Structure formats: C-alpha cells, structure tokens
A and B are shown apart, each in its own frame.
Chain A
Amino acid sequence: MSTTFLPCGVYHENYAQDHAWFQTNLIKGKMILLFVLLYLVVPWVADVYWISVMNQVGYTIMGALGVQLLIGYCGQLTLGHAAFIAVGAYTSTLLILEFPWPQFLLDVGLAYPISIFVAAIVAGIWSVLFGLPSARVKGFYLILTTMAAQFITVDFLITQYISQIGGRGQAFSLPAGTIKIGPWTIDSDVKVYYMILTFVVICIAGVANLVRSRVGRAWIAIRDNDISAEVMGINIVQYKLMAFFVAGFIGGIAGACWISNLAAISPEHFPWFWSLWLVGVILIGGVGSIHGTVFGALFMVVVMELLQMAVMPLSDAYPKLLMDFLFIKEAAFGLSICLFLLFEPNGLAYRWWQIKNYFNLWPFSY
C-alpha cells in the first residue's frame, strides 16, 4: 500500500527522485497547502470547541503512532500502550512539580522541554521492560503481558504510590505558568494546538523515516515472518526491543504534551479502555500505514463528537439520554470496530489509496 502509482507520463530519472518524500510537484504543493491549512487557517477559523477537538485528535495520533509502530510495522500485539503514555505524563508532571530546577533554567523556560525529553526516555525504558517477554512469547501471549503492563503500571503503581507523592491526593494539578517553552507560556488552547501539532509533525516524520530505514526494514521482516528474519541474520530480540523503545518514547512525548492541555492529571486519564481505543484507531485507519493512523484518529474523535452533537438536541425530550450517552458511545465504539473489521478490513488508508490512484491514473486506469 505504500507506493502510489504515478500518472501517465511522470517517471523518475534518478535515485534521488525515486527516494524523494514528495514525488511530484503536485504532491509537494498539496502538502504545503496542508501545512498552511493546519498552521494558519485552522486556528483562525475554528472556535475554542473545535480547537480542543483538534488537540484531542493530535494526542490520539501521537498515542496511536506508537501502537502502529508495534502492531503495524513490527507485528508485536500490544494492548497496554496507555501505561506508557501515563508513565510519560507522570514523569513530566513530577519533574515540573518536584524537581529542584536551577533558577536560570526556569527563567529561560527550559524546564518543560527538558521534562518532555526525560519523560519520553523514561517511558521508552519502561516500555522495553514490558517488551522483554516478547523475546520468548508472541501473539496472544504478548497481549497478555502487555495487559499486565497496563494493570501493574496504572492500576497499581500509579494509583497506589506515584499519585500519592507530594501529598496532593489522587489528582495532580499544574499551577498556571509552570508549563513554559522558552518565552511562551502554554496557557490557551490555541498555543496547545500549535505545540501538539508541531510534535505530531515531528513524530510522524520521525516514524515515517525510521520505517524507511534499515531498522524499519528489519521490523517489517520480523512482522512478516520472524523465523525467516532470524535466519536472514536480523537480531530479532534487539529489534523488537528497539520497536518497544521507540513506541514508548512516542507515548511518553504524547503523555507529556497532553498535560499542557489538561494542566492536571490523575490515573483515571489512562484506563485500559484508552489502550484498546488506540488499537481501534489503527485498525479503523489501516494497519501498517502512517497516514492510516491519522485517518483513524480523525475518524474516531470526530465521529464521536458528531454523534454527541446529534444526540444532544434530543436530550431535552429524554433527559436520561445525557447520562446514557457514555454507554451509547462505548457500544458504538465496539460496534464500529467490529463492522470495520468485517467490511473494511484494510482500513480507511486503503480506501484513500484507491481514490488517489483513481485520480492519478484517470483516464487510463490500467
């Protein structure tokens, strides 16, 4: 699914063109348009509500990107990714709140950027720790160990111990003005939007380049047939753990970014549901495709918001509906995963690929 057919009469003359990110000028133009749209038009047009929805989409993309890397590119099934996002979020928060930062770092506003980096590293290492069983087991058994990661990390360690640090009770809140990047204090939704958007772009570019490299090829070989990969001389344990590290790293960035939006965290933000949700996102978007992750995140978040908007007007007539909406949402999520797997098993990315090729090859579609 990775290569798009080029239109008639467009061909490459050297390797640089063949390896280029944007293969034709039209694609380059479209991408520039997309960036202009995302960076300039969206914050200008959208109101506060839709900006917050977009933030949620960005956070979902970052979270799902790690899952996509593990499941879609390395074939390591995981159902506990929320744990690593939680580790990232808590590391960043604790660093900001409890670490004795030197005054000059606080003055130039480096505390939060450094904490994001440290959070990403810690989450990556934590992820490797629970990826270790992947050396021995795979498939369904790996699902069980990653599930164990979720319960041990979030339901036990964080709920019982980490969230008691500093005597704040269950929920940590970050005082206003503590989240600063350089001279900018991240305090409005639009600023959070710019920050998350930038991190999403960096993460997507990073992962997309990684899967094009030698490492990515090794991952894909492991996904397709791990025994063959081992026979070909790939150190599969090392590469599997590397996949876990990168996935945890991105999860850590996602968690650390998200606290700038909430300005507070508690263990309830990282339930098992969230791990399953992320797997649902990549399934609906398309397994093994980077822009599938983006489509999946957009679909899941925006469709749920639209569902909410459709249900809300009815709530005057049926007041109980507001309370029941959470359950309807849950059932709808489950049903949509089932229906997608039954009727569109390749996800939205495949459909997008078909549409693109139709236009590229038109009028000679063969």
Chain B
Amino acid sequence: MDLFLMTITTGLMVGGIYALVALGWVLIYKCSGVLNLAMGEMTLIGAYTSLSFYTMGVPFLASLAISLIIGFILGILTERIFLDRLIGEPVLSVIMVTVGLSFFFKGIVELLWGTDTRVFNPPVFSMEPIKFGPIVVGQVYVWSFVAAMILLVVFVSFFKYTQWGLSMQATADDEMAALSVGVSARFVYAAAWAIAFMAAGVGGTLLGNINGLNISVGYLGLLVLPAVVLGGLNSIPGAIVGGLIIGVLQNLAGAYLDRYFPGGVKEIAPFVFMAIFLLFKPHGLWGWERIERV
C-alpha cells in the first residue's frame, strides 16, 4: 500500500512538470494549428541555459528568469523565421518543419554543451526528504510540483484575465472573427511560441534538478504527446489533467509491471496506453470532435 501511495505521489509530482510542458504544446496547437514535435529540444535549450548561468554563480531564480527571457526571444525568432511562412501549408510540411527544427536545436545543444550528464551544482533543493505520513518524497519533487502548479495558475489566469490572453483565446476560437475585430493573428502566433518556449524551459529546468541534465531529457517532449492526446489536443485543462495522468501511469507501470516485462516499461508505457486509448476515443477527453463533410 505504501509503495502504491508513494508511486502515485511521485507520479503526480512529475506529472505536474509534464503538464507544464504540455500546456505550451497545446497553446501552440490551439492558436496556430501547428503540431510541434520540437518541444523536447525546447525544454533542453531552456534547461541548459539556466544551468549555465547557475554554474556561473547567478542565483537560481535569477538564472531561471534569464532562461525565460532567452526562451521568449528564441520563441519569437523561431516563429518569425520558420513558421510564419508556413501558414496554410499542408499538415505534413508543418510537422516536418518542427521535426527539422528539433534536429537543428538538438545539434546546436550538443555542440554547445556536449553530451555528458550535467547536474545543478551545488544542488538547488536540499536532499532532505519530506514526509507526509507514510509517504516519503524528495524535496526536489515537492518544489517542482509547487513551481509547476504556480506557473500553471499564472498561465491560466493570463488567458482568462489579460488583454493578450483574451486575444489569444479569440484567435484560437475563430481566426477570421478575431482578425475582423482587430486582433493581430501574427502577434498571437509569436506570443504562443514565446510562451511555449518559456514553459518548456521551466519544465526542463525542474526535470534537470531531479535527475541531472543530458540530451535524453529531450525525450520529455515526446512524453508530452501522450499527455496531450489523452486530454484532447485543444484543451488547456485537458493538457494539465493529461500530464498528471501520464505521470502517475508511467510511475505505476514502472513500479508494478517492471518485474513481468523487465527493461524499459517505464519509457514506453505512456505510448502503449496512448495507442490503445486512441482506438477508443480518438479525440481525447476534452478535444473538439471535428465532423467532416465533403
């Protein structure tokens, strides 16, 4: 029972980070209809930037802020240089541009920071575990979860209560109508990429604090896809719930199925689950069901 509770708790905490990254993903998809497979590499860029500044001696929060600014700039640049020309192109072209971007980013990251695992040194969060009754969780997990939740609240209230957020929602809902009331769609696309880049950077930094940072953290970008599919592609609450579910599921699979299928169950469990889920509910839990007519 303790194992079960502990697995669920850890899963939820990691799931919070997935939710953060999934939020950025859904945002891009919702606003501009771009399916972004470069999300993993975007987390890597943000994470490595904050790591470099942290190792240089900048305080953790300040280096996180710097990485957020750099993510913001890079997001706008990426959108302007690569995605802006692709509006209205077939879905395959757009997806493959993001795949190309993911290789480009990955190559650059490897070139700049190498492939060895790097850790935040000295550790940002203390190693002392926190006890909730019988459940023992590392402090890193707790703080990551708290940080992810705070950011999720910030992002969600940004969409609900600010002018920018409202115009982004309007564009996502009906691009033509938004254009006709004076919302600049190009501005919204750029803002979506910038925010997604920032969210990815925070997610990557938090994950880097848990297990150290290397190129395989970019795999997270792929793990986000099952989460997004689960929640429905164009639903922000769906992304959050999907992220949490995938986090729990992955840890449960790791804890209970590993002895029956030794090896990488933990890595592929989300994908197996997603493949089965897609067969029964192709639009996710809260996705829009599109009815097609000829």
Contacts and interface: CB of A to CB of B under 8 A. Distances in A.
Interface of A: 71, 77, 79, 132-133, 136-137, 139-141, 143-145, 147-148, 151-152, 155-156, 159-161, 225, 227-228, 231, 276, 279-280, 283, 287, 324, 326-338, 341-342, 345
Contacts of B274: 144-145, 148
A335 B104 contact: yes
Interface of B: 35, 82, 85-86, 89, 91-93, 95-97, 99-108, 110-111, 222, 225-226, 229, 233, 261-265, 267-268, 271-272, 274-275, 278-279, 282, 292-294
Given A144-B225, A227-B292, A156 B278 contact: no
B150 to A, nearest CB: 30
B267 A155 contact: yes
Given A160-B263, A324-B111, 4 more contacts: A77-B95, A156-B264, A287-B92, A338-B82
A336 B99 CA distance: 11
A151 B271 contact: yes
Does more than half of chain A's interface fall in helix, strand or loop, or is it mixed? helix
Contact of A341 (B100, B110, B293): B100
Contacts of B89: 341, 345
Contacts of A276: 99, 103
A335 B100 contact: yes
Most chain B Cβ neighbours within 10 Å, of A71, A225, A227, A334? A334
Contacts of B271: 147-148, 151-152
Contacts of B108: 327, 331
A161 B21 CA distance: 32
A212 B7 CA distance: 56
A200 B199 CA distance: 46
A227 B107 CA distance: 41
B278 A144 contact: yes
B103 A330 contact: yes
Contacts, number: 140
Contact of B264 (A132, A160, A227, A332): A160
Given A324-B111, A342-B86, A337 B95 contact: no
B183 to A, nearest CB: 26
9 contacts: A140-B233, A145-B275, A156-B267, A160-B263, A327-B106, A334-B101, A334-B105, A337-B99, A342-B82
B278 A337 contact: no
Most chain B Cβ neighbours within 10 Å, of A225, A283, A342? A342
Nearest to A340: B100
Nearest to A138: B282
A55 to B, nearest CB: 24
Contacts of A136: 278-279, 282
A152 B110 contact: no
A97 to B, nearest CB: 22
A331 B267 contact: no
Contacts of A324: 110-111
B107 A328 contact: yes
A328 B92 CA distance: 25
B186 to A, nearest CB: 17
Given A136-B282, A227-B294, A335-B100, A330 B275 contact: no
Contacts of B110: 324, 326-327, 330
A283 B261 CA distance: 38
A140 B111 CA distance: 31
B60 to A, nearest CB: 28
A345 B104 contact: no
A132 B111 CA distance: 40
Contact of B111 (A144, A161, A328, A334): A328
A329 B108 CA distance: 10
B96 A327 contact: no
Nearest to A132: B279
Most chain B Cβ neighbours within 10 Å, of A227, A328, A329, A330? A330
A303 to B, nearest CB: 15
B95 A140 contact: yes
Contacts of B92: 71, 77, 283, 287
A161 B262 CA distance: 9
Nearest to B228: A144
B264 A279 contact: no
A145 B272 CA distance: 9
- The 4 A-B pairs of least Cβ separation, nearest first, read A331-B107, A334-B103, A337-B100, A334-B104
B86 A231 contact: no
A141 B229 contact: yes
B278 A334 contact: no
A335 B107 CA distance: 10
B268 A280 contact: no
A227 B293 CA distance: 8
B28 to A, nearest CB: 13
A351 B30 CA distance: 35
Most chain A Cβ neighbours within 10 Å, of B102, B104, B272, B282? B104
Nearest to B233: A140
Given A151-B271, A160-B264, A276-B99, A331 B104 contact: yes
B292 A160 contact: no
A338 B264 contact: no
A209 to B, nearest CB: 25
A330 B99 CA distance: 11
A353 B92 CA distance: 22
Given A137-B282, A160-B261, A342 B275 contact: no
Contact of A338 (B91, B97, B111, B278): B97
A333 B96 contact: no
Contacts of A225: 294
Nearest to B215: A327
Contacts of A147: 222, 225, 271
B278 A280 contact: no
A324 B102 CA distance: 18
Nearest to A283: B96
